[in-house]
C-alpha cells in the first residue's frame, strides 16, 4: 500500500499540489469569502500578513488543515491585492522561513521512515527537482549530489558552506536536516513570490479587499525605511541600494547601516529585516548581531554610528553637496 501525505502535512505545506486539489474538491467558490463563516479565516490571514510585514516575525501558529489551507489562500490573495513588490518579497521570505521550520522538525523528528521519505520526495524532489536521500546508516543525515549542493551553496559566503568544510564522499555531500533545508530557502521563497505574482484572479472578494486595504494603510509608513528615502545620507542610501540588489555588503557597511538605522529609532526587528535580501541572510545570526549593536546583548554598550571620516577611510562615503559641514551621518539633514 502506498502511503500518502496526511492532512496534518498539508497544513504545514499548503503550497503542495494536494492542497490545491483539496480546495478544488471542496466545491468552494471565491465568493464564499464574503460570507460571515469565513471572516475568521480572513482575520487570521490578516494577522499572518501583519506579523510578517509589520513586526517582521514568522507566524508560527499552526491550525487544523482546512483552516490552514484557506488561510494560506487568502493570504496570497491579500498580498496580490496589496501588490507592492517590497511587501511581497518580505512576506515570501517570512513564509519561506515558516516552511523551513516545519521541514526541519519533520526531517529531524519524524520516526516513520516512509513518511520522512515521502516528505523529501514531495518537497525536494517534486517541487524543486532536488534529489535528497537519507543516509543508509544514520537516518538523520541527508545526502545530495555535489553539483546540486554547489549550485545552492555558492551564494553563501560563510566559510562553513565551502565544499571543503563539508563531508564529501563519492559524489555526495552529507548534511544534517537544518543545513539541507537552509539550502532550499531561496527556492521556497521564489515559489511563494511567484505564486503571488502569477496569481490571476478576476474578482477579488470584497471582504478580502477590505482587509487588505487596512493592512496596506498600516504598512506604508513603516515598511519604507526612513522618513523618506531622500532624507537618508548618501552612504546609507548606497548601502541600501546594494542590499536591495542582493549584493553582498562588506562587514563595515553592515555595521554602518545597522547602527544608523538603530540611531534613527528603528527597532531591532526592522533592522534585521533590512538584511533579508543579503545573499547569506541568516535570521538568527543577524538578529543576534543587531541586538548586540543595540546594546541588548553582551556588554550592554550601544554602538554609535561611525564618523564620516572613518567611513571615508572604509570607502563607504558617497558624499554629495548636502553632506557639507557634517562629521557623522546622523547629522545629515539636521543642520541647515
Partner 1 sequence: MKIEINTKNKDFLVTLFKEYYFKNIGLLSPPIQMHNREFGFMTFDGRVIRHLTFSKIGSLKAYIIQNVPSDIFCSNAYYQFPTFPINEKRWRGADMIFDIDLNDLTLPCANEHTFYICSNCGVVSRDLINLCHECHSTKILKNTIPCFRCINSLKKETKNLIEFLKKDFGIQEQNLEISFSGNTGFHVVVFQNNYLLLDSKSRSDIVGYLMGKNLSPESLGVRNDKRGYRIKIPLSGYSYGWRKRIVQKMKIPEVSNDQLNKFIKKMGGYQSFKNEIDKIAYELGLKIDPQVTTDIHRIFRMVGSLNGKSGLSKIVCNDLDKFDPMNDSCFFEDDRNVDISMNIPLKFSIKGKKYTLDKSISTVPISVAVFLISKRLANIVNSSS
Q: Which does 199 bind (CB under 5 to 8 A by kind): ligand SF4, partner 1, none?
A: none
Cell 490573495 maps to which residue?
77
Based on the shown chain and the rule CB under 8 A, indicate whether residue 210 belongs to the binding site for partner 1. no
In this structure, are strands 172-176 and 141-145 parallel, antiparallel, or unpaired? antiparallel
Edge-to-edge, what's the strand order for the sheet holding 172-176? 132-134, 141-145, 172-176, 167-169
Nearest approach in angstroms of CB 106 to partner 1 is 17
CB of 299 to partner 1, least distance (A): 13
Phi, psi of 133 (to 5 degrees): -125, 155
Q: Report the first-to-last Cα separation within the chain, whole angstroms.
A: 77
Q: What residue 151 binds from ligand SF4, partner 1, none (CB within 5 to 8 A, per partner kind)?
A: partner 1
Write the binding mask 262 to 301 for ligand SF4: x where contact by CB under 6 A, - elsewhere.
----------------------------------------
Please identify which residue in 2, 36, 129, 170 interacts with partner 1, judged by CB under 8 A: 170
Which does residue 319 bind out of partner 1, ligand SF4, none, counting CB within 5 to 8 angstroms by kind? ligand SF4
**What is the closest distance, in whole angstroms, from the C-beta atom of residue 177 to partner 1 in the complex?**
9
The values of phi and psi at residue 290, to 5°, are -65, -40
Cα(292)–Cα(323) distance, integer angstroms: 29
Q: How many CB atoms lie within 10 A of CB 267?
A: 15
Other CB atoms within 10 A of residue 167 CB: 12
Draw the binding track, 299-328, toward ligand SF4 (x: CB under 6 A; -: no contact): ---------x--x-----xxx---x--x--
3-state SS assignment for residue 28? coil
Nearest to 209 by CA among 23, 45, 27, 14: 45
Site for ligand SF4 in 213-252 (CB under 6 A): 233-235
Identified binder of partner 1 from the candidate list 34, 86, 121, 145, rule CB under 8 A: 145
Answer for the pair 176, 54: CB distance below 8 angstroms, yes or no. no
DSSP assignment letter at 249: P
Which residue, 284 or 324, is less far from ligand SF4 as judged by CB? 324
Q: Contact between 138 and partner 1 (CB under 8 A)?
A: yes
Q: Which is nearer to partner 1, 3 or 113 (CB)?
A: 113
What are the cell numbers at 172? 555526495
Binding-site size, partner 1 (CB under 8 A): 26
104 binds, among ligand SF4, partner 1, none (CB under 5 to 8 A by kind): none
Question: Residue 308 Cβ, how far from ligand SF4 at the closest point, in Å?
Answer: 3
- The alpha-helical segments, DSSP class H, found in the chain are 7-12, 17-25, 39-50, 65-82, 85-109, 113-119, 128, 146-153, 177-182, 185-198, 206-223, 234-244, 251-263, 268-274, 283-293, 308-313
d(CA 149, CA 161): 10
Residue 141 found at the interface with partner 1 (CB under 8 A): yes
Closer by beta carbon to ligand SF4, 79 or else 236: 236
Residue 275: CB minimum distance to ligand SF4, A: 19
The residue among 92, 88, 80 whose CA lies nearest residue 30 is 80
Task: Tell me which of 151, 220, 313, 315 binds partner 1, using CB under 8 A.
Answer: 151
- Which of the listed partners (partner 1, ligand SF4, none) does 175 bind, with a CB threshold of 5 to 8 Å by partner kind? partner 1
Residues in contact with ligand SF4 by CB under 6 A are 233-235, 308, 311, 317-319, 323, 326, 329, 332
Q: Interface residues with partner 1 (CB under 8 A)?
A: 138, 140-141, 145-147, 150-151, 153-154, 159-160, 162-172, 174-176
Amino acid at each position: 500500500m502506498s502511503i500518502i501525505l496526511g492532512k496534518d502535512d498539508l497544513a504545514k505545506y499548503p503550497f503542495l499540489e494536494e492542497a490545491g486539489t483539496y480546495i478544488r474538491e471542496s466545491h468552494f467558490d471565491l465568493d464564499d469569502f464574503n460570507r460571515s463563516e469565513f471572516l475568521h479565516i480572513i482575520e487570521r490571514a490578516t494577522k499572518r500578513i501583519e506579523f510578517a510585514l509589520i513586526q517582521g516575525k514568522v507566524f508560527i501558529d499552526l491550525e487544523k488543515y482546512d483552516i490552514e489551507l484557506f488561510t494560506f489562500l487568502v493570504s496570497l490573495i491579500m498580498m496580490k491585492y496589496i501588490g507592492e513588490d517590497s511587501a511581497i518579497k518580505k512576506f515570501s521570505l517570512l513564509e519561506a522561513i515558516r516552511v523551513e521550520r516545519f521541514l526541519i522538525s519533520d526531517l529531524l523528528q519524524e520516526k516513520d521512515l516512509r513518511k520522512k521519505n515521502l516528505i523529501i520526495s514531495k518537497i525536494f524532489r517534486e517541487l524543486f527537482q532536488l534529489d535528497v536521500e537519507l543516509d543508509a546508516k544514520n537516518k538523520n543525515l541527508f545526502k545530495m549530489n555535489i553539483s546540486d549542493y554547489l549550485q545552492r551553496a555558492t551564494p553563501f559566503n560563510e566559510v562553513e558552506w565551502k565544499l571543503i568544510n563539508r563531508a564529501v564522499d563519492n559524489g555526495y555531500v552529507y548534511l544534517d536536516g537544518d543545513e539541507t533545508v537552509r539550502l532550499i530557502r531561496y527556492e521556497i521563497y521564489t515559489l511563494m513570490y511567484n505564486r503571488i505574482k502569477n496569481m490571476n484572479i478576476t474578482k477579488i472578494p470584497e471582504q478580502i479587499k477590505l482587509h487588505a486595504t487596512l493592512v496596506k494603510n498600516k504598512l506604508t509608513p513603516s515598511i519604507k525605511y526612513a522618513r523618506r528615502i531622500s532624507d537618508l545620507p548618501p552612504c546609507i542610501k548606497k548601502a541600501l541600494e546594494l542590499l536591495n540588489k542582493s549584493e553582498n555588503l562588506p562587514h563595515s557597511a553592515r555595521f554602518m547601516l545597522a547602527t544608523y538605522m538603530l540611531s534613527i529609532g528603528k527597532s531591532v526587528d526592522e533592522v534585521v529585516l533590512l538584511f533579508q535580501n543579503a545573499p547569506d541572510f541568516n535570521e538568527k545570526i543577524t538578529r543576534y548581531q543587531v541586538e548586540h549593536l543595540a546594546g541588548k546583548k553582551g556588554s550592554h554598550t550601544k554602538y554609535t554610528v561611525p564618523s564620516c571620516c572613518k567611513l571615508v577611510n572604509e570607502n563607504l562615503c558617497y558624499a554629495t553637496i548636502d553632506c557639507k559641514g557634517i562629521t557623522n551621518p546622523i547629522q545629515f539633514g539636521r543642520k541647515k
